[in-house]
């Protein structure tokens, strides 16, 4: 079953809001027509000739990438130059390209959350805040006895989370009245008569980015033909969003054991080490991609080790004792998330009722490597 590209972009925006991207980043639809029917999706770290060839071989209509293809403004499209040739191949293949870059980095269940999970970190927090997902309060009126399924459905859409608690809600009972008009199909009532029913007023906090998905789910699960609900903007601080994560292991781990595990999970043969690492570590920070600018934040958060994709020489403070930056390579730090991201998208598409084929591109060799 094909789904219009614009509907897929809308779903992506609900889960990895394009507004979460850092200033100046290029995210969203880069190439293609929003009205394109899509039945096959290929997920990749970036658009390369090899990835585009895979997309064509799989007859994909959408290439969903982490790295933007058009990060710098175009001055020309020349087919005798590598980028121009690649763009021409994409256009001729009628392949749409959508990028989720820093919005995917900061998103809950996004790239950095996955890296923290991969390293088995606990008590995970944001490393460097970039903003907050504003909060609203959703109030919905349900017939008595329907509070639990409605609460559960909204919680599954990310509502009712306060700190380390989920499914947070408040319910109060009252009397609702209504008169069904001609053509109405009331849940419990007779047409043209004033009905009085005992209802629950169910309230839950809602991240603004989750409202559209939550309301769509609410209308599916709620027994009323016309769902009565209210939305209130809140001045409470919303869900903190940011780059990188910091967490800890339950018990300290020896440094050689840590390096061995990092090589295993990131598929690298070497790890560049900056600074002087402690003999063992418990508090660890992580950030996929280019994370050199957050070394100071990692130290301020109490991290003993900071793992990232790449750093520049001048970003590393001299004389660091009992602290080390572990560099695994930009490519390696992000490509590990492509298959889990594809699996997550498959699940989200199924929840939306879409039968789309979603695959991760076969990883190629990193663009820069040692021999």
Q: Residue range 172-192: average pLDDT? A: 81
Vertex 88: Cα angle to 83 and 94 (nearest 5): 130
Closest CA to 161 of 169, 152, 153, 173: 169
* DSSP E strand stretches across the chain: 3-4, 28-31, 37-38, 40-44, 62-65, 96-99, 122-133, 135-143, 170-178, 195-207, 229-233, 239-254, 272-276, 280-290, 305-310, 323-327, 357-360
pLDDT, tens digit, 9 for 90 and up, residues 146-162: 999 999 999 998 899 88
Q: Does 344 score more than 80 pLDDT?
A: yes
Q: Give the CA distances from residue 90 to residues 38, 42, 99, 151, 288, in Å, rounded to whole numbers and listed in that order.
A: 15, 13, 14, 45, 27
Residue 230: φ, ψ to 5°: -130, 150
The pLDDT > 90 percentage for the chain reads 79
**Mean pLDDT, rounded, of the chain:** 93
CA quadruple 111, 19, 125, 324: dihedral sign: positive
Confidence of residue 190 (pLDDT cuts 50, 70, 90): low
Q: Which residue has the tokens 């998103």?
A: 107
pLDDT, tens digit, 9 for 90 and up, residues 244-292: 999 999 999 999 999 999 999 999 999 999 999 999 999 999 999 999 9
CB atoms within 10 A of CB 300: 13
Domains of the chain: 3-101+337-360 (3.40.1390.30), 111-130+240-334 (3.40.1390.30), 135-237 (3.30.70.120)
Contacts of 304 by beta carbon, 8 Å cutoff, 6+ apart = 277, 278, 281, 282, 283, 284, 322, 323, 324
Q: Report whether 195 contacts 177 (CB < 8 A).
A: yes
pLDDT number for residue 370: 54
pTM reported for the whole predicted model: 0.82
From the CA atom positions of the chain, what is the Rg in Å? 24
Work out whether strand 239-254 and strand 122-133 pair parallel, antiparallel, or are unpaired: antiparallel
Q: Report whether 242 contacts 179 (CB < 8 A).
A: no
Q: Does 368 score more than 70 pLDDT?
A: no
Q: Does 179 score more than 90 pLDDT?
A: no
């Amino acid at each position: 079953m094909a789904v219009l590209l614009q509907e897929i972009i809308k779903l992506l925006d609900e889960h990895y809001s394009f507004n979460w991207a850092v200033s100046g980043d290029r995210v969203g639809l880069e190439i293609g027509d929003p009205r394109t029917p899509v039945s096959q999706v290929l997920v990749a770290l970036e658009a390369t000739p090899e990835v585009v060839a895979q997309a064509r071989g799989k007859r994909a209509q959408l290439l969903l990438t982490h790295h933007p293809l058009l990060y710098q403004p175009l001055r020309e499209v020349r087919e005798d130059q590598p980028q121009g040739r690649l763009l021409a191949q994409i256009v001729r293949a009628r392949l749409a390209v959508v990028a989720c870059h820093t919005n995917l980095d900061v998103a809950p269940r996004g790239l950095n959350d996955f890296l923290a999970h991969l390293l088995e970190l606990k008590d995970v927090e944001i490393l460097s805040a970039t903003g907050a997902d504003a909060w609203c309060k959703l109030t919905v009126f349900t017939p008595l006895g329907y509070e639990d399924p409605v609460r559960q459905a909204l919680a599954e859409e990310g509502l009712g989370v306060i700190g380390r608690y989920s499914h947070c809600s408040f319910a109060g009972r009252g009397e609702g009245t209504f008169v069904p008009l001609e053509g109405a199909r009331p849940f419990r009532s007779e047409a043209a008569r004033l009905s009085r029913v005992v209802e629950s007023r169910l309230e839950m906090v809602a991240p603004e980015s989750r409202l559209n998905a939550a309301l769509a789910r609410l209308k599916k699960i709620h027994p009323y033909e016309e769902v009565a609900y209210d939305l209130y903007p809140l001045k409470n601080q919303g869900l903190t969003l940011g780059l990188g994560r910091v967490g800890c292991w339950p018990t300290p781990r020896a440094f050689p054991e840590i390096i061995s595990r990092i090589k295993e999970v990131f598929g690298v043969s070497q790890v560049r080490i900056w600074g002087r690492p402690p003999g063992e570590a418990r508090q660890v920070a992580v950030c996929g991609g280019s994370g050199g600018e957050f070394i100071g934040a990692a130290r301020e958060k109490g991290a003993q080790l900071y793992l990232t994709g790449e750093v520049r020489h001048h970003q590393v403070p001299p004389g660091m004792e009992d602290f080390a930056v572990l560099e695994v390579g930009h490519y390696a730090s992000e490509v590990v998330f492509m298959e889990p991201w594809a699996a997550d998208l498959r699940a989200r598409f199924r929840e939306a009722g879409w039968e789309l084929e979603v695959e991760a591109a076969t990883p190629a060799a990193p663009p820069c490597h040692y021999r």
